[in-house]
Amino acid sequence: PPGKKVLIVYAHQEPKSLNGSLKRVAVEELSKQGCSVTVSDLYAMQFEPRATRNDIVGCLHNSEEFNYGVETWEAYKRGSLSSDVVEEQKKVQEADLLIFQFPLYWFSMPAIMKGWMDRVLVQGFAHEFPNCYDSGLLKNKLALFSFTTGGTKEMYTKGSISGDIRYLLWPMQHGIMHFCGVKVLAPHICFAPEYVSEEKRKEMLIAWAERLKTLWKEKPINCSSEWYFK
* Residue ranges of domains in the chain, CATH in brackets: 5-229 (3.40.50.360)
Contacts of 175 (CB under 8 A, 6+ apart): none
For residues 52, 58, 62, 66, the Cα torsion angle rounded to the nearest 10 degrees is 10
pLDDT in tens, the chain (230 residues): 889 999 999 999 999 999 999 999 999 999 999 999 999 999 999 999 999 999 999 999 999 999 999 999 999 999 999 999 999 999 999 999 999 999 999 999 999 999 999 999 999 999 999 999 999 999 999 999 999 999 999 999 999 999 999 999 999 999 999 999 999 999 999 999 999 999 999 999 999 999 999 999 999 999 899 999 98
| Element containing residue 24 per DSSP (H, E) | helix 18-32
Q: What is the pLDDT of residue 92?
A: 98
Contacts of 142 (CB under 8 A, 6+ apart): 96, 97, 98, 182, 183, 184, 185, 220
Cα–Cα distance measured from residue 99 to residue 11, given in angstroms and rounded to the nearest whole number: 11
**Three-class SS state of 94:** helix
Cα–Cα distance measured from residue 162 to residue 104, given in angstroms and rounded to the nearest whole number: 13
Contacts of 79 (CB under 8 A, 6+ apart): none
| Element containing residue 229 per DSSP (H, E) | helix 225-229
Read off the amino acid at residue 48.
E
Q: Which alpha helices (H) appear in 33-177, and where do they start and end? A: 68-78, 83-94, 111-120, 165-169
